[in-house]
């Protein structure tokens, strides 16, 4: 199954956190990292006073079921020092399952497509970089959503 994973970090060398997370995702059993978008800097969403984020999207091919993939991603977050204290607070690493094939999942632990995709250009732009003709399971075009998303001071970084 093809899955798109959102990556974000704004603590402890964010660029390196994302690159290391991509390497770790490629080591998940029955999973292969197909490619990664360019890195982007974005203004933080959530509590004020946080550093800017570095964001990207990774495209995976996986044989894991969605919740098993979620478990593996949360283990990578934990290995990178992720501490869950304040919602939308600063973090060393955030890995979100954005899309899992064309599936729609609404469980206690997981919502796919990620419910905030339409309002986050720091997710939509990297998604569009990887799959410019992508449509969400709802039928919404990533390109159309990107044009309507808040600007959020998005800046492409050099790799």
Tally the residues of the chain: 159
Query: Quick one: pLDDT at residue 152?
Result: 83
Where residue 121 sits, what CATH number does that domain have? 3.30.70.560
- Annotation marks residue 91 as catalytic: yes
Backbone angles phi, psi at 27, to 5 degrees: -95, -5
Q: Is the pLDDT of residue 89 over 70?
A: no
Residues 36, 41, 82, 120: which is the catalytic one? 82
Query: Quick one: pLDDT at residue 86?
Result: 56
Average pLDDT over residues 34-61: 93
* pLDDT-derived band at 106, boundaries 50, 70, 90: very high
Question: Cα(33)–Cα(22) distance, rounded to whole angstroms?
Answer: 7
Question: Cα(70)–Cα(74) distance, rounded to whole angstroms?
Answer: 6
* pLDDT-derived band at 158, boundaries 50, 70, 90: confident
- Annotation marks residue 106 as catalytic: no
pTM value is: 0.95
Which of 2, 135, 137, 133 lies closest to 60 in space, CA to CA? Answer: 2
Listed range (1-5, 141-145, 149-153) with the worst mean pLDDT: 149-153
Residues 94, 129, 133, 159: which is the catalytic one? 94
Question: Cα(5)–Cα(22) distance, rounded to whole angstroms?
Answer: 10
Q: Is the pLDDT of residue 88 over 80?
A: no
* pLDDT tens digits, 17-29: 999 999 999 999 9
- Annotation marks residue 82 as catalytic: yes
Question: Cα(55)–Cα(90) distance, rounded to whole angstroms?
Answer: 13
Q: Residue 106: in which H helix or E strand, if any? A: strand 105-106
* pLDDT-derived band at 91, boundaries 50, 70, 90: confident
Question: Cα(53)–Cα(43) distance, rounded to whole angstroms?
Answer: 6
Q: Is the pLDDT of residue 15 over 60?
A: yes
- Annotation marks residue 2 as catalytic: no
Backbone angles phi, psi at 7, to 5 degrees: -120, 140
Place of tokens 């569009």: 128
The total of structural domains in the chain comes to 1
Residues 84, 91, 102, 106: which is the catalytic one? 91
Residues 26, 84, 87, 96: which is the catalytic one? 96
3-state secondary structure of 148: helix
* Percent of the chain at pLDDT exceeding 90: 84
Integer CA distances (angstroms), 111 to 1, 67, 123, in order:
17, 10, 16
Which residue range(s) make up the domain with 121? 2-156
């Amino acid at each position: 199954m093809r899955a798109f994973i959102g990556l974000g970090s704004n603590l402890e060398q964010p660029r390196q956190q994302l690159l290391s997370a991509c390497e770790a995702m490629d080591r998940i059993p029955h999973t292969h990292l197909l490619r990664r978008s360019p890195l982007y800097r974005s203004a933080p969403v959530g509590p004020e006073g946080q550093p800017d984020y570095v964001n990207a999207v990774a495209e995976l091919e996986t044989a894991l079921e969605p919740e098993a993939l979620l478990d593996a991603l949360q283990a990578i977050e934990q290995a990178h020092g992720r501490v869950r204290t304040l919602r939308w607070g600063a973090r060393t690493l955030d890995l979100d399952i954005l899309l899992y094939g064309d599936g729609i999942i609404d469980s206690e632990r997981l919502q796919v497509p990620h419910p905030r995709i339409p309002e986050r250009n720091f997710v939509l732009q990297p998604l569009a970089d990887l799959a410019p003709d992508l449509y969400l399971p709802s039928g919404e075009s990533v390109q159309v959503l990107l044009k309507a998303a808040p600007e959020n001071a998005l800046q492409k970084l050099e790799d």
